[in-house]
Chains A and B, each alone.
Chain A
Amino acid sequence: MKFDKYPVTVGATSMVFEFTSKGIRGNIQKLVVYSETHLHNFYNLGFGDKNEITGEIDDEVVTNNGDSEKVLATVASTLYIFMEKYPDAMVFATGSTKARTRLYRIGISNHLAEIQKDFNVYGLINEHWQPFQKQMEFDAFLVIKKKE
């Protein structure tokens, strides 16, 4: 992906990442977590803002820090580090709201050719998975690293 990204701090497991969004509202800590699910190798990608005072993570807050493209590019780029360690992982992602899921879809659509060099991307629609297509509304996404 050819967008600028923030530098990250990574956990020893390569399943947790932290970075700082720097924008019009100041510095905001972001956390990205790849959580295990009931199925081996199937992970949920979650990310949100870290409240510096309480330490709580909020994935519903609308930050409006003016750098959403850079934030999304940074979150997406963590896939490369995560999947280096877990090459057989399947990563599930969905937004906390329909609007946010739509934002993710637009982000994937805008960089689809680049993303598809390294990953297979699927979208969930009407309770069916299908290969991701631009201009289609999806409820969730699944990303799998292509085998070299």
Chain B
Amino acid sequence: MKQQTKNTDKKPVIIKVDKNLDKYLTKDLFKEKVDKANHILKTVGLPKFSK
């Protein structure tokens, strides 16, 4: 029986690259969250970064 191995690396295993997935970038997905991100950018801005 094949034993399943766990992927505990930081990166996920990539099955394939599928350029068709990029169609979702034009579909205005998660609009509420993107709008919220834009609102926070406008009203709060960015953190004070410690470099």
Contacts and interface: CB of A to CB of B under 8 A. Distances in A.
Interface of A: 1-13, 15-19, 31, 33, 35, 37-39, 42, 44, 46, 48, 57, 59, 74, 77-78, 80-81, 90, 92, 94, 96, 118, 120, 122, 124, 127-131, 140, 142, 144, 147
A57 B29 contact: yes
Given A5-B13, A42-B41, 18 more contacts: A1-B10, A3-B8, A5-B12, A8-B12, A9-B14, A9-B17, A16-B22, A33-B24, A33-B30, A35-B25, A42-B46, A46-B33, A80-B11, A92-B37, A96-B33, A120-B49, A129-B46, A129-B48
Highest count of chain A CB atoms <10 Å: which of B10, B18, B32? B10
B40 A140 contact: yes
A110 B40 CA distance: 26
Interface string B25-51: 100011011101110111110111111
B12 A16 contact: no
B19 interface: yes
B2 interface: no
Given A4-B7, A81-B12, A46 B22 contact: no
Would you call the interface of chain B mostly helix, strand, loop, or mixed? mixed
A80 B9 CA distance: 11
Contacts of B50: 120, 131
B15 interface: yes
B43 to A, nearest CB: 7
Contacts of B51: 147
Contacts of A4: 6-8
Contact of B22 (A2, A3, A13, A128): A13
B40 A11 contact: no
